[in-house]
Structure 1
Amino acid sequence: MNWSSCPFCTLQVLSIELEMHANSHFEDEDEDLAMDEDIAFDYKSVRHLPLPKVSPMHPVSDFLTSDENICSLVSAQARDANFNRGFMALLKNCLELECEKSTSTTTSITILSGYVDHFQSLEFEDVGWGCGWRNIQMLASHLLVQRQEAKEVLFGGVGFVPDIPSLQRWLEIAWGKGFDVAGSNDFDQKIYGKQAWIGTTECAALFRSFGIRAHIVDFCFSTPQDVGKPPKVVGPIDRYLNRPDTCGDPGSSTNAKCFPVLVNGHQLLANWVWSYFSDNSRCIKSGCSQVVVAEKAPLYFQHDGHSRTIVGIQLKSLLNGMQQFTFLVLDPVHKTQVLESCLRKKVGWQRFIKRGVHTLKKTEYQLCYVDPGIATGAEMEKLKTLDSTRFEF
């Protein structure tokens, strides 16, 4: 009989049982992910939300057009109070404590977005269909706090995250301005009041209409005719995807671009996410040198049936030479109060927020990320046409 060492606990098990044993380390995590997806598929009918009242027109910022609908929306949009402030600070404290308690069998480095509010889906309002809007709210909460240039232009400069009906109106205005014409046709140019699923393209179109540089990345399995072809590589961070870097001390700046050798499958997605968060010269170490806060916006993370927000990534280097990625994810399905309680008590938070690469079981994934700065003029016109960087494996 052949025996193998578990990459997570180093226990010797029969080789034929190694996969089953390794997966047992994540049973709670898989069950939680399956529950989230079941909830997402439960609601597919299109019903209508109550329409908010529109107040009289008021002047708006010069960056907006003088269209009457925009003027009315700026003054009428409602703040969404369904969120938690200080969420990322609580998560950072838990990760620091985790570092302090870690054994000598592993070393790790974790990179986080600096600020993100968690927005949950609400029963009788958007459970089952509103995850996309909630992820837009999470991304917007980061931009409004950490990027002054974005705060000045988003949602008429009101400085807060609007509710879903208001966001639906902003998306219709983006379509009216010519952003993502093909996508708008899928909804007949109307989405206000509908319980309709949205994805990365709607997220990108909405933010681009304010000049925010939102981009889409696709990850999918290759078709038979594509086998053997190299993946399409475009963009400033892609130089990190096809070569390994030399790893330094987990807390050093040189380690910020350290990740495993590229392999096929979902590891490519994990490598990309690591490269995104680590490709930043302005990182701030927390109380623990292995927890780093980066000036990076969170990622809108989409797959068939559900979407979530990636707020960070953790890389563990095991003594046996293996390296393990774990996404740090905020899911609209989870209750904000429950998450906050777990984080404050520093108990049980991992099963809600940590997601290993092994949980990536879909054949296609999409990410939407935001680059710094505000587009104007000719660049703004180019943003009206949505495209994506595509990686096949």
Structure 2
Amino acid sequence: MSSDEDCRIVSSELSYSAVVSGQSKIISEQVPKFTCPMCPIVCEELCIMEAHIENEHLNGLEEQISDDNSKPFNSAVHACPLCNQTFKDTSLLEAHFNTEHDVLQNEESTSKAQTQLLSCPVCLSEFCSEELLAQHVNLHFSTDMSNDADEELARKLEQEERRIMQNKERDDFKRLQSMHGFDQGKNLNRQCDANLFRSVEKGNMSAVDYHEKRIMLKMSEKIGLDDGSSATLDITNHIRKLVVAQSALMCSAVDHYAASFGDSGWGCGYRNLQMLLSALLRNPRYADRLINLCPSTSSTSDNSIRVPSISRLQSAIEEAWKMGFDEQGCEQLGGKLSGTCKWIGATEIVTLLASCRIRYRLIDFHRPTSADGKLHPALFDWVKKYFEETSEFKPPLYFQHQGHSRTIIGIEERIQGKARLLILDPSCKSDQMRLLTNNSGSAQNNPAVTKKILVPMTALKAKQYQIACVDGGFVDDEQEYLQSRVVRSTRIP
């Protein structure tokens, strides 16, 4: 999700993975087409647009910056490809580009603006053009038009409104098909092959690397373990360098998993689940409960964890459905995830945990709680209390919101009561995250990295959020195990 910013969410929020009033699930709207802001290309799928921008434009920018870095300081002026603002330092150009130009978000806003309907100021009817709106408004005030002309114009306006509604319903249906993986056989392997092949065509990858990556993917899918190519191991220790240690509350060790060639645009739920599992599998008690998820996965003495692959997680959730867990979620997704690009959310995460007899909590922050109705102080208070609870082992939190999901690994308290969440985002590329593991300090001084990890309250702009967490125990009682098949959540406030 790059620009990272695209997953199904359930709750009363559009596309918010929650259980509200009897586990109801509502699907969010997605923009049907995306126009590249740097060239005239139009794509119907977000992942294809991401790949296009990455291969056609951003890679070129990275290569230019890399070449320029080899030159003497201040030897050239570097222009931003979007706004033509110039910089003497390539690092300033890169920071400007990452912080000022959120390509996909701007594209989404532009697309929405282009499709905005015009409302009649008298009766609030909506029209797609100013001409039709003007004709309609005249009907409210005209006294010299004949009845026949009135009826003819009213008939034309009604036909236009019906056409607009039919087009909207058709576009909404296509978006739902794409979001839930019903769009003509798209899946992990096909998307990976297509994106790898594009990289070879553009000269960003050699033919040898192409075949090696395909072989690694097939081996990973065969044994059910992620190949680790997008993982940054034990990232929590390195993130401590970004904060004041005395003011930060953090979870136990966890690995970061980034979106890759095969799951870009739809796999953030699976990648966050892998992050959660990377923490649980370091604890022998939880590793024993997860043994059936992937028999060859276990905690290791060298602190290296092999988590299940995306396809294995898909089949594991299907197995939980067959056991009777979350029947409504199973019905909504057609009872099938394997071989698709269907999005998952918090309910699928807790469904998998419950099937492994791991106790969970599902918390819905269904509206802002600040005085101005825009911010979520109750969410920050809940997260703070979670990390303040004394425990030898503290798993991270699965964090779901509109169109995307992330992982909360801690909270930093700052002066004057201000706080920042410490967040791992699957849309952060592995090469960016691995900058944190070296001692050069480049990641700490890179706004593109730090702004996604250190998240203040003002950056949480969605109306609704949801957190899934491991509740520090196991379900051994059979009656409780049967009851855990129904997904339940707690609403705050």
What range is the shorter-chain TM-score in?
Answer: 0.5 to 0.7
2:347 to 201, 219, 244: 201
Q: Distance in 2 between matches of 1:32 and 1:211?
A: 45
Would the aligned equivalents of 1:83 and 1:336 in 2 still touch at CA under 8 Å?
A: yes
Cα separation, partners in 2 of 1:278 and 1:388, compared to 1, 3 Å: same
Letter in structure 2 aligned against 1:381: L
Matched, 1:391 2:492: yes
Q: Distance in 2 between matches of 1:217 and 1:30?
A: 32
Tell me the TM-score normalized by structure 2: 0.52
Would the aligned equivalents of 1:37 and 1:306 in 2 still touch at CA under 8 Å?
A: no
Cα separation, partners in 2 of 1:38 and 1:112, compared to 1, 3 Å: farther
**Residue 181 of structure 1: how far off its partner (Å):** 0.7
CA RMSD of aligned residues (A): 3.3
1:279 to 372, 389, 393: 389
2:451 to 351, 355, 374: 351
Cα separation, partners in 2 of 1:306 and 1:75, compared to 1, 3 Å: closer
**Residue 156 of structure 1: how far off its partner (Å):** 4.1
Would the aligned equivalents of 1:149 and 1:374 in 2 still touch at CA under 8 Å?
A: no
Q: What is the number of residues matched between the two proteins?
A: 280
1:296 to 387, 394, 409: 394
2:413 to 312, 315, 329: 315
2:279 to 136, 142, 146: 142
Residue aligned with 1:137, SS? helix
Structure 2 alignment gaps of length 5 or more: 1-94, 110-174, 191-219, 299-305
2:239 to 91, 95, 98: 91
Which structure shows the bigger proportion of residues in helix conformation?
A: 2
Percentage of identical aligned residues: 30
Residue aligned with 2:468, SS? strand
Tell me the TM-score normalized by structure 1: 0.64
2:188 to 27, 32, 49: 49
Matched, 1:211 2:357: yes
Structure 1 alignment gaps of length 5 or more: 1-26, 52-72, 100-107, 223-230, 232-259, 283-294
Structure number with bigger Rg: 2
Cα separation, partners in 2 of 1:156 and 1:129, compared to 1, 3 Å: closer
Would the aligned equivalents of 1:326 and 1:354 in 2 still touch at CA under 8 Å?
A: yes
Cα separation, partners in 2 of 1:373 and 1:37, compared to 1, 3 Å: farther
Q: Distance in 2 between matches of 1:29 and 1:372?
A: 42
The structure whose RCO (Cα within 8 Å, separation 6+) is larger is: 1
Q: Distance in 1 between matches of 2:395 and 2:469?
A: 7
Letter in structure 2 aligned against 1:79: D
1:220 to 344, 366, 387: 366
**Residue 378 of structure 1: how far off its partner (Å):** 1.9
Q: Distance in 2 between matches of 1:33 and 1:366?
A: 28
Match of 2:469 in 1: 369
Cα separation, partners in 2 of 1:316 and 1:266, compared to 1, 3 Å: same
Would the aligned equivalents of 2:412 and 2:421 in 1 still touch at CA under 8 Å?
A: yes
Q: Distance in 2 between matches of 1:391 and 1:33?
A: 34
Match of 1:380 in 2: 481
Q: Distance in 1 between matches of 2:107 and 2:309?
A: 21
Larger displacement relative to structure 2 (369-378 or 267-276): 369-378
**Residue 330 of structure 1: how far off its partner (Å):** 0.5
Q: Distance in 2 between matches of 1:203 and 1:177?
A: 15
Would the aligned equivalents of 2:366 and 2:463 in 1 still touch at CA under 8 Å?
A: yes
Matched, 1:132 2:230: no
Letter in structure 1 aligned against 2:432: V
Cα separation, partners in 2 of 1:83 and 1:32, compared to 1, 3 Å: farther
Q: Distance in 2 between matches of 1:341 and 1:297?
A: 24
Matched, 1:115 2:249: no
